[in-house]
Homo-oligomer: A and B are copies of this chain.
Amino acid sequence: MDEFLKVALEEAKKGYAEGGIPIGSVLVHNGTIIGRGHNKRVQQGSVVLHGEMDALENAGRQPASVYRECIMYTTLSPCPMCSGTMLLYGIPRVVIGENLTFMGEEELLRSRGVEVEVLNNEECYNLMQQFIKENPCLWNEDIGV
Contacts and interface: CB of A to CB of B under 8 A. Distances in A.
- The size class of the interface chain A forms with chain B is 20 to 34
A64 to B, nearest CB: 5
Task: Please report whether the interface of chain A is mostly helix, strand, loop or mixed according to DSSP.
Answer: helix
A47 B59 contact: yes
Given A48-B53, A64-B144, A84 B80 contact: yes
Contacts of A48: 48-49, 53, 56-57, 85
Contacts of A125: none
A61 B141 contact: yes
A105 B88 CA distance: 10
Contacts of A127: none
A62 interface: yes
Interface string A59-79: 111111001000000000001
A89 B141 CA distance: 9
A82 interface: yes
Interface of A: 41, 45-49, 53, 56-57, 59-64, 67, 79-85, 87-90, 105, 108, 140-141, 143-145
11 contacts: A41-B61, A45-B60, A47-B56, A47-B57, A47-B61, A47-B89, A48-B49, A79-B88, A81-B88, A84-B85, A90-B144
